[in-house]
Amino acid sequence: LEQEIRKAGGVPQMIPTGHVYFKHAMQADTSILLGGEVSSHTFIRDNFYGFDDGLYASLRVLELLSRTDKPLSKMFESIPKTYTTEEIKLHTPDEHKFMVINGIKRSLQESWEIIAIDGVRVKFSDSAWALVRASNTSSNITLRFEAESQAKLKEIMQIIKSRLEEYPVVDSTQLIELL
């Protein structure tokens, strides 16, 4: 997504997970025209108030469709295919979650670029990343992965799994089952 935003002339920004952070960021910086997160919260500033509204976002897609003869399936063909995981939740006692996140960050930051806005996002390449973060609402560490191929996806999942094995307080069963 970051590459596509840049291709279109935009400047991608990462902010912590949660729609409240989008609202604050869009109010503070009027150059932010569009925001979104995996949970389907989509924030559109132009011609609107800049808060998340699924109906409005759907209508904007219909507006784009009305301006072209292309079917929706063809409009996004040029965007490279990526492979992602669902959110993976690993039970971790609350009193250990942040210690684990900090340890993961330390163990990866010498080899890869780290973005530590909301947990640890590890940038393995321009099109492969992992997110390891402490849940704000449960006794879990949550993971997400994205890569340009299934093979790369498995590779980065394995790297994170190997780092998590250093922390026996983390129940990695759900991640192990996916590998």
- The model's pLDDT over 64-88, given as tens digits with 9 standing for 90+, comes to 889 989 888 888 788 788 999 999 9
> What is the number of other CB atoms lying within 10 angstroms of the CB of residue 61?
12
Question: Do 7 and 61 have their domain in common?
Answer: yes
Tell me if 83 sits within 8 A of 150, measured CB to CB: yes
DSSP string, 129-171: EEEEEE-SSSSEEEEEEEESSHHHHHHHHHHHHHHHTT-TTS-
Tell me if 97 sits within 8 A of 135, measured CB to CB: yes
Residue 123: domain span: 83-178
Question: Do 35 and 89 have their domain in common?
Answer: no
Residue 159: CATH number of its domain: 3.30.310.50
pLDDT tens, residue by residue, 3-45: 778 888 888 888 877 777 877 887 888 888 877 777 777 777 7
Instruction: Report percent pLDDT > 70 for the chain.
Output: 97
Question: Do 54 and 118 have their domain in common?
Answer: no
Torsion sign, CA atoms 147, 150, 110, 174: positive
d(CA 71, CA 108): 43
Among 48, 75, 102, residue at a domain's last position: 75
The pTM is what? 0.78
Among 75, 101, 117, residue at a domain's last position: 75
Among 75, 91, 118, residue at a domain's last position: 75
Residue 51: CATH number of its domain: 3.40.120.10
Tell me if 103 sits within 8 A of 166, measured CB to CB: yes
Q: What is the pLDDT of residue 9?
A: 85
- Bigger pLDDT: 58 vs 130: 130
| Count of the separate structural domains present in the chain | 2
